[in-house]
Structure 1
Amino acid sequence: MKLTKENQQEAAVLLSEKSSMFKDCSPASLALIVSKLELFQFVKGEKFLEQGDISEYMYLMSEGEVLRYREESGVEHQVDISPGGNEQAPIKPASPPRTLQNRTVDSSSSSSVSTGRIVKQVDPNQHLATINSMHYLRGDPAYSSAVCTSTICKAYALSQSQFMDTLSTRPPLAAEIITSLQKEVREQKNALRTPFLELKHRKDINIPAVSVAAAIESYYRSALNAMLNARLLGTKAALFPNMHVQVPARVVYINGFKGMRAFLDRNVRPEEYTYPSVVRATVAVGPGFLMNPISS
């Protein structure tokens, strides 16, 4: 299906904002890519990507819900599940879903679909709106299968041959794509590689909020201790004894602990010492040891 002007504008926005491969491409490159796109429509149950088949298309989803799954050793696993996916009860399909073969699908047709996995919500406001964007670069077998699970799914598709032609006619596009993917990898790596002892805490504390929370905690800790002692020792005790002492002590302990940790985080730089790992461990456990004498 040919793209209207409105479709072209939507596709350009999706490419620049939601696709990790094209988000750093120039307007001229995006316009060239958009000119090569086709618009596909799928109905519920339409399988438009089959695991193991040669990858011919990259799909840029614009509407609908898509289920992605990969089969390994006879077991199906969810793939690329985005936040907010809907878990649905297992339902066996009445018939195998059909496969797209270089065509658009008539939206008036219907088919059944298995919804026994977790659905990946495809929302233009969410990231990861592209499907099969990596494996189709060299025509490799598709990593997973994809099925439309909503009434209608719409996707902009770019064929592998059209993409290669675009790269050959516009060499700067390759550098722009590499930059986009490099930034994506760097963001993923930076987000996941912080060691536990190097995690940074808040450098200020909300004393009123912490005090209220500590006061509430002192009550349920006292009641829990009393119930445990009664169960283990067979001796009943008051649930809230000496709360005029327990509450202030707990408030001082928690505020002191958090305040000391914030102070150390602000003023101690472990990398400046000979043994930074030892310093980090000391900073992590030191406040607890120092405040332990007044703990209730």
Structure 2
Amino acid sequence: MTVCPTVRPLLAIAGTSIATLVLAACGGESSDANAAADASDASGTLSHVHGLGVDPADGRVYVATHSGLYTVAKGQKPKLVGDREDDFMGFTVTDKGTFVASGHGGPGSGRPGNAGLIETKDAGRTWTSRSLSGKADFHSLDSAKGTVYGYEGGRIRVSSDLESWDDRATLEALDLAVNPSGDKLLATTAEGIAASTDGGRTFGKGAKPMQAFVSWPAEKSLFGISTSGKLSSSADGGTSWKELTAVPSGQPQALTAVNANHILAATMTGVYESRDGGKTFSELAPRTS
């Protein structure tokens, strides 16, 4: 089993629950188990979910996985978008039909082991390399006001043009979330949620409660999901939290809040959706083991 080198200190501090999440998020080298997952993904089932998003152009739900980008809808089999069965790691929707991602080229694809930053402007059908090809693997991406924030190699990296990057704070984190106005950045760490008010140049100490993933769709609607799958919300930027519900099947793999009411979460058994602000969830698509 391959462990991403940049997360070793986090694993040592945070214990098994965070370790499992990080290992699920790492691309690593191919193995027989991964090859089996690739085959099952190609047949319309999901495995190793790394990211979630909704295209504002048509409301379609996208799932970034170990073996490609899929669309999912209730009562339908997941559908591979385009012909790439690459390992999509960091993933976020930036505009109508426009997404950015990172990860690793699939077996036999001829694409780099580290994809750098790639972008699609046709909702995932085709992708263009924008920067850092072969040099970087972003494990978390978020954006606000035309600026992309990424976590890669144990550091925060920021770009306004997807080509040049400003390297900022170094820290051990699992996920990032930026507020809509772009003036506050959160990182989930082994000590809790660490906040930055200077664009990721410096961070304060991590504060409880512990969250694995965070998503910030509106200034007064911040959502977090714990390592056990409990969803919480904050109306004050993370100073205080209100526990909402437990997402089915425990350990989370990804979280995206589209707005204050529409929330997507992936756990060990599937992709789930809430339309009532996180009070209840229903399954969009099952996940294979």
Same fold (TM over 0.5): no
Higher Cα radius of gyration: 1
More strand per residue: 2
Give the TM-score normalised by the residue count of structure 1: 0.20
Higher relative contact order (CA 8 A, sep 6+): 1
Q: TM-score, normalised by structure 2?
A: 0.21
